Amino acid sequence: MDKTNEKRGKAILRSAAKPSQEIQGRLLHFLMRRYKKDFTLQWEQDIDMTDGFVLQAGSDVYDWSIEGRLRQFKDRLEQLHPANREIIPLIKETVNNWIPEVMPEEMGEVISVGDEIATVSGLEHAAYGEILLFSSGVKGMVQDLKEGEIGCILFGDEEEIVEGSIVRRTGKTAGIPVGEEFLGRVINALGEPIDGKGEIQASEYRPIEAPAPSIIERQPVDTPMETGLLAIDSMFPIGRGQRELIIGDRQTGKTAIALDTILNQKGKNVICIYVAIGQKASSVAQLVETLQQNDALEYSIIVSASASDAATLQYIAPYAGTALGEYFMYKGKDVLIVYDDLSKHAIAYRAISLLLERSPGREAFPGDVFYLHSRLLERSAHLSDEMGGGSMTALPIVETQAGDVSAYIPTNIISITDGQIFLESDLFFSGQRPAVNVGLSVSRVGGDAQTKAMKKASGGLRLDLAQYREMEVFTQFSSDLDELTKRQLVYGQGLMRLLRQPQYHPMRQHEQVILLTVALRHLMQDVPLEKIDQFCNDLLAYIENNSATLCYQIDQTGKLSEEDQDAIVQMTKKYQADLKLKEDLAGKDNG
């Protein structure tokens, strides 16, 4: 065999008519300059190609057909501004006379397809996370790089893709449209509206994967993100820019805490994003209805990748939601994002990884499952003033099995986040809701994210509850209790009752401060357990009527002086005296 031919490359020229010897010579000269080696040129007739030609050298394709020039022109316009897509049909005539740059377009071929995964050969320079375009119009994202082939997850109907289909590189990473008009809408993981309210005009596009802000670009977390839940705001405060994990078994009120936190942001200029991963469509519809009834949908965005959606959409949903949040954060706004839940997200990623034939590790999860969530949650931050001072607060939710917080995914996310709120099944079913386990829950930001009023009012609440829990265990083995121990038990039971709160009823700051001040000064000591809820509601109404200025001051300034505390105590004692007088009079009348 001629060794010279072995070193030569092979090029294929497709056109409607056979080119002249002069044109073939010019093309061979171009390939020689481009690749620094000789080529043999093979012509193939393509009668569908009305004008121009396509030259293929290895995996590189030079498309000088009308369709190829139109596609390049369209891509260039979209890079300048997404809205330019609307004028594409008006400029086809101009394209006929437009000469594109001499640059190759890398093309590949589908080897196999199935289970929302396509294996592609020929794309030697494709990058991880890059979007590929299949000949049917379906898009995919590169997720696995091997020698000679790549694995690609699909964002469309795999039935439209067959073995041998042509695949093109786009040179772009996955992105999502973002903008102010997304507020109040329900969208899927690709940014498309699914609420039946029409199209959404995007302001810009953001990549769903982006680097987290650097240390220099951040500032300390020191501004409260109030949940409106007394049990959390008093003992496990959350700050703007923090990542606080909500963890617990199934049906223990995890979503309820996140939803109450969203409702509590009404009027506080906080944009809320709820990412539903693997949820039932009916559950998402019910959540949207709840937000609408409480006038909270107008400042919220719902990103839904339901249980019936492909694993690929469930995988990218939280990243898409974070990209939306970053759009507002970098504009100097405060954002609250809820990931419900990351357990299902990890399961979707595990399914994709196993289909891509990656080696399974612990609990069959791939080795990079920690990085899966760390690169997501690290994007939440409180930006420095130079960066606009915006913030994104993350509330990831994780489901445990039988309270096992030492499982793989829970331990991973606990190590990434700045604290966790642990919800306990036993507390939930005993009627203690929210079922927050005070012993296992923690906030690593602590008092920095509390107002001075809340810090002063909550005082030794955690210590008192810890003493009560210890005493409660001890008294199970003893029937003979002294009077002091009995009073301590009654006090602890009263505190636990105080921390119960109905769903969709978040408390304002002044309500929390007043109740904590009254409770920790033992002024509720003699109120029967079954009457504590009514007592609290009536007391708050009484103080709001008689000292509206004090309530307003606590809400606006977040401060509580000794004089204010004394005023709350005096008003409570007066209310109790008036209440006792009424009860005495009622007793006499009945007698």
Contacts 24+ apart (CB under 8 A), 557-565: 557/453, 558/224, 558/451, 558/452, 558/453, 558/454, 558/509, 559/451, 559/452, 559/453, 560/452, 560/453, 560/456, 560/457, 560/513, 560/517, 565/456, 565/457, 565/517
- Neighbouring CB atoms inside 10 A of 158's CB total 18
Catalytic residue among 375, 444, 500, 521: 444
Amino acid making up residue 356: L
pLDDT for res 70: 62
What angle, 0 to 180 degrees and rounded to 10, lies between the N-to-C axes of helices 509-520 and 461-475? Answer: 50
pLDDT for res 101: 52
Going residue by residue through the chain (591 aa), what tens digit of pLDDT does each one get? 444 445 678 888 888 778 888 778 878 878 887 778 888 888 888 777 766 778 887 777 777 776 666 666 566 555 545 545 454 444 444 444 444 455 566 888 999 998 889 999 988 889 999 999 998 888 999 999 988 899 999 988 888 888 888 899 888 888 999 999 999 999 999 999 999 999 999 999 999 999 999 999 999 999 999 999 999 999 999 999 999 999 999 999 999 999 999 999 999 999 999 999 999 999 999 999 999 999 999 999 999 999 999 999 999 999 999 999 999 999 999 999 999 989 999 999 999 999 998 999 999 999 999 999 999 999 999 999 999 999 999 999 999 999 899 999 999 999 999 999 999 999 999 999 999 999 899 999 878 889 999 999 998 899 999 888 888 877 766 667 778 888 888 899 999 999 999 999 999 999 999 999 999 999 988 889 899 999 999 999 999 999 999 999 999 999 999 999 999 999 999 999 888 877 766 666 665
Active site residue 14: no
Q: Which of 383, 382, 431, 440 is nearest to 245 (CA)?
A: 440
Domains located in the chain, CATH noted: 3-96 (3.30.2320), 105-174 (2.40.30.20), 177-194+221-450 (3.40.50.300), 457-590 (1.20.150.20)
Token match 């709001």: residue? 544
Radius of gyration over alpha carbons of the chain, in Å?
A: 32
pLDDT for res 124: 86
Distance CA 153, CA 141 (A): 5
Record the pTM. Answer: 0.83
Which residues are registered as beta bridge partners of 339?
275, 396
